[in-house]
Amino acid sequence: MKLLKTTMLATLSLAFVAEAAATEWNVSLWGKRRAFTEHVEKLAELVSEKTDGEFTLNISYGGLSKNRENLDGISIGAFEMAQFCAGYHRDKNPSITVLELPFLGVETLEDERRVSQALYEHPAVKKDLARWNAVPLMPSPLPQYNIVGVGDAPRTLADFEGLSVRATGGIGKAMEAVDAVPTSMTASEVRQALDSGVVKAVAFAPHAHMSFGTVETGQWWTTNLNPGTVNCPVVVNADALDSLSDDHREALLGSVDEALDHYIENYNSNTMSAWGPALDERGIERISYSDDDLAAFRERVAGPAAEAWIADNAKRGLPAQELYDTVTGLIAGE
């Protein structure tokens, strides 16, 4: 009898230890699985593999929060990890909106990753996100945005006057500079807005044009406007990160680079190779602008937007000039 009790106690103890060692995090994304979320999917796979299933990331596409509220959810610990885009709520994360300024000159996903990861380490960025109990984990590198639209195509920059465009962040500022009418809305709202005529055009990266259906409605596409992109970090709740065991923290943080490698390889090889055929199959006209038009556009937009960003954010108490110089220096390879 004594041996049986001892065995039972040992079994219960082992079960308790196993249960205590298991960690489950909820992850708030939106839309559906797509190129934009492949690094999170890969991260979940790697973390589970490295911990023999003891640490799992439960990914939800819209079931935990609205995408504009993901940072709020992180702040109160409603979930442990989330993705958001800086342009959705510029006042909540002003430090990283520097990465959304138009015409910064980032040309590749690899550069976008390098510059974003370096900026996320800046003390001012960490302090800014810490207001929401958030720790930046990794970026979601995106190529330059371009525009899918319906109706008369803007064949010159002058033709953008009065055009209603879904455009957030610095891309919205660029649209204002050519007298278009930018409208900010989440990706999930865009298809309905385009179909109903609320907007006549949408600025997205190629994967989002396919994922959110604008390519099904669109009649024209700007091939080389390249006004900028958005910055969409993946962040974790600071308390949840602190509570991880050393092994689980290493499994998470040590998997970020591999997850980003997978993301970029997938985007370059799958998404971009599918984009041209997607346009051709639907008979979408490609609109390209002359070098002179693009140079005039950059001159009209880039400098004033940067100056305004620096002035506005210096008033917030951010080291705005330093953040801008850091980003431009990284892009220049300094």
Mind listing the pLDDT tens digit for each residue in 126-183? 999 999 999 999 999 999 899 999 999 999 999 999 999 999 888 998 999 899 999 9
186 falls in which pLDDT band (50, 70, 90)? Answer: confident
Residues 115 and 220 occupy one common structural domain = no
At 1 the pLDDT is: 53
Residues 84 and 172 occupy one common structural domain = no
Residues 176 and 71 occupy one common structural domain = no
Residues 251 and 290 occupy one common structural domain = no
21 falls in which pLDDT band (50, 70, 90)? Answer: low
Rounded mean pLDDT of 282-305? 93
Judging by DSSP bridges, how do beta strands 181-183 and 285-287 pair with one another?
unpaired
Residues 243 and 283 occupy one common structural domain = no
Number of domains in the chain: 2
Residues 126 and 179 occupy one common structural domain = no
Amino acid at 316: R
**Computed over its alpha carbons, how large is the radius of gyration of the chain?**
22
For the residues of 94-163, what is the DSSP string, one character each?
GGGGGGG-TT----SHHHHHHHHHHHHTSHHHHHHHHTTTEEEEE-------EEEE-SS---SGGGGTT-
For the residues of 3-45, what is the DSSP string, one character each?
HHHHHHHHHHHHHHHHHHH-EEEEEEE-S-S-GGGHHHHHHHH
Residues 182 and 278 occupy one common structural domain = yes
Residues 82/65, Cβ–Cβ less than 8 Å: yes
CATH number, residue 298: 3.40.190.170
The whole-angstrom separation of Cα 245 and Cα 234 is 21
At 12 the pLDDT is: 47
Give tens-digit pLDDT for 41-96.
999 999 999 999 999 999 999 999 999 999 999 999 999 999 999 988 989 999 99
Q: State yes or no: pLDDT of 255 exceeds 80.
A: yes
At 334 the pLDDT is: 62
Give residue 220's domain range: 146-229+274-331
At 3 the pLDDT is: 47
Residues 56 and 119 occupy one common structural domain = yes
Residues 36 and 58 occupy one common structural domain = yes
188 falls in which pLDDT band (50, 70, 90)? Answer: confident
Report which secondary-structure segment, H or E, holds 287.
strand 285-287
Question: Angle at CA 264, nearest 5°, toward 262 and 266?
Answer: 65
Local structure of 247: helix, strand or coil: helix
Rounded mean pLDDT of 109-116? 96
Give tens-digit pLDDT for 195-215.
999 999 999 999 899 999 999
At 239 the pLDDT is: 98
Residues 77 and 210 occupy one common structural domain = no
Whole-model pTM: value is 0.85
Average pLDDT, rounded, for the chain? 92
At 16 the pLDDT is: 46
Residues 244 and 225 occupy one common structural domain = no
Number of neighbours of residue 17 by Cβ within 10 angstroms:
10
Please give the backbone phi and psi of residue 13, each rounded to the nearest 5 degrees, phi first: -65, -45
Residues 260 and 115 occupy one common structural domain = yes
Q: State yes or no: pLDDT of 13 exceeds 80.
A: no
Cα atoms in the 13 Å half-sphere on the side-chain side of 115: 31
Sheet holding 23-29, edge to edge: 55-61, 23-29, 81-83, 234-237, 134-138
Q: Which residue has the tokens 């970026």?
A: 139
